[in-house]
Amino acid sequence: MNLLDYIVVIGYLAGLLYMGFTLRDQQNAGDYFLGGRSLGWKPLALSVMATQLSAISFISAPAFVGLREGGGMIWLSYELGIPIAMILLLGTILPSLYKSGVVSIYDYLEQRFGRGTRILISAVFQFSRAFATGIMIYAVSIILQGTMGIEAWQAVVLTGIITVLYSLQGGMKAVVYADAIQMVIIVLGTIACIVIGLQALGGLDVLIAEAPQERMKAIDFTSFGVNGDGFGFWPMLFGGIVLYASYYGCDQTQAQRALSARNENDLRKMIVANGIIRFPITLLYCFSGLVVGTLALTNRDFFASIPADNPDWLMPTFILNYLPHGLIGLLIVAILSAAMSSLSSAINSLSAVTVEDYCRVTNKTLEHTSYLRLAKITGLVWGIITLVLSLFAGNIAPTIIEAINKVGSLFYGPILALFMLAVGSKALQGRHVNIGLIAGVGTNILLWLFVPNIFWFWWNVIGFAMTCLCAWLALFILRANKATDMPAKPLSFHSILTWKDICTLLGFFAAMIAFCVALPSFFK
């Protein structure tokens, strides 16, 4: 990097800080954590996608497609469950959460199952989200080490301090508006990598001729993910439905955006847009990996500069060696943008859960000034925790993008099960679902440690089923003590799903499968 690159990076970071401080005038919890429920569906949709399609996707999805052994365009099958998951959410969980008016979605569970369930699932969320965010920051440290020549801890501090400052000052509005800007930068940066990579490779005809045919396969109907194999159609579809329904509906980082929508129509549009736009953006990431990976495989010097045991260095090496100055700075901004999107969302959501689920339940009379001060203090603490965890992340899976989804798959199924039981059952009590949650997470941990042949995407389905099963078994076994249970508090079921949404999302689901099946023929 030269002076021009550093000017681009510093200018962008200064702009983020300025935006955070201009949006710092919040009057209450709704302003700080939900943006006053005044946000439209377009910035919210961009914000949601910027967090999910984060720095890890920008760095590690191309590495999986281009270099990872056994990888390739099969990563596209990871997206297959999204449209169906969005249908599930619009018809069940999200509208009910939005109508309830809560800040922490786990407050909703307390209304149904009691405080014990709220505290338990909050703890599960905080552990999993802090750990996953730490992995994401670790991913960014890799690329900053390679491009800026700084140490890992310096990259972590640089990313963390700026993000903590603007997200603590501006609250949810700063998070959403920064995410929307960052999503645009990420997409433009990916397109720039594709164009320059194709030029260096010699054009599209050379890519078609040189790209390894085994990396063109985007869907595999023969793999069931139970014999040490992975990324088959069935585990990716069913595991993906559970994972994405849980992530977008039961993870505070994403659901908090849904709760920030100004009305139910904006909420519906945001979810439908996310179900459609995610696949094209993921395809863009994967195509950039195919281009740059093929370039590496056909260029001995480029390939030799990538560590043999770490394919995630593919994109940092390409950026540093093939992009012109100024554009290098822009790509570093794109990477920082993606990292900051995920980190700012995590900080805001972890702070919301901590204040609402731990501090406020013990002191319901907190004044607005004290509340906001406490929210910022807890946000700072969580920012520090995630940055410390990032220093120890790694060695979970061949690529970082697999690692973060592997960790999430331990928890997403059981968490989704609790919310579905909350809106779908009047008989279950808090202690029943608490037993189910512990059993579901525990089963997945045992599978990770002792049954490696089962593909980790199945953990989402297994954890969901085990949580539901054990909750109902607990109800049957503990029925004798029913008199000691707290009275059930049925919650009103609310759906905003329309037939137009169903047809649109199912039609797009069919189009995704058709594209994945036809993809290999485009490279013959």
Look at residue 456 and give its three-state secondary structure: coil
Q: What is the pLDDT of residue 365?
A: 54
Q: Which strand (E) or helix (H) includes residue 86?
A: helix 82-91
Per the CB < 8 A criterion, the answer to whether 201 and 294 are in contact is yes
Q: Which of 18-22, 38-42, 331-335, 447-451 has the highest mean pLDDT?
A: 447-451
Q: Which strand (E) or helix (H) includes residue 277?
A: helix 264-298
Mean of all residue pLDDT scores within the chain: 80
The CATH number that applies at residue 116 is: 1.20.1730.10
Q: What total of structural domains would you count in the chain? A: 1
Distance, in Å, from the CA atom of 79 to the CA atom of 513, rounded to the nearest integer, reads: 10
Per the CB < 8 A criterion, the answer to whether 460 and 411 are in contact is no
Q: Give 217-271 pLDDT, tens digit per residue.
A: 999 998 898 887 888 899 999 999 999 999 888 887 778 778 888 888 998 999 9
Look up residue 38 and give its two tokens: 């005044």
Distance, in Å, from the CA atom of 288 to the CA atom of 194, rounded to the nearest integer, reads: 5
Nearest CA to 285 among 295, 293, 275? 293
| pTM (2 d.p.) | 0.83
Q: What is the pLDDT of residue 286?
A: 93
Distance, in Å, from the CA atom of 256 to the CA atom of 172, rounded to the nearest integer, reads: 9
- 56 to 52, 162, 352, 403: CA distances (angstroms): 9, 19, 24, 10
Q: What is the pLDDT of residue 28?
A: 47
Q: Is 478 exposed, middle or buried (0-12, 13-18, 19+ CB in 10 A)?
A: middle
Q: Give 131-166 pLDDT, tens digit per residue.
A: 777 777 776 666 666 666 666 666 666 666 666 665
Q: Is the pLDDT of residue 186 over 50?
A: yes
- 54 to 59, 190, 268, 354: CA distances (angstroms): 9, 12, 23, 24
Q: Angle CA(291)–CA(509)–CA(524) in degrees, nearest 5?
A: 35
Look up residue 278 and give its two tokens: 């995610």
Phi-psi region of 448 (alpha: psi -120 to 50; beta: other; left: phi over 0): alpha
- Domain with 191 in it: 3-523
39-43, 212-216, 267-271 — which is least confidently predicted?
39-43
Q: What is the pLDDT of residue 305?
A: 87
Q: Angle CA(347)–CA(348)–CA(349) in degrees, nearest 5?
A: 95
Look up residue 151 and give its two tokens: 């140490």
Q: Where are the alpha helices (DSSP H) in 101-251?
A: 105-113, 115-148, 152-201, 204-210, 233-250
Please tell me which residue, 7 or 162, carries the higher pLDDT value: 7
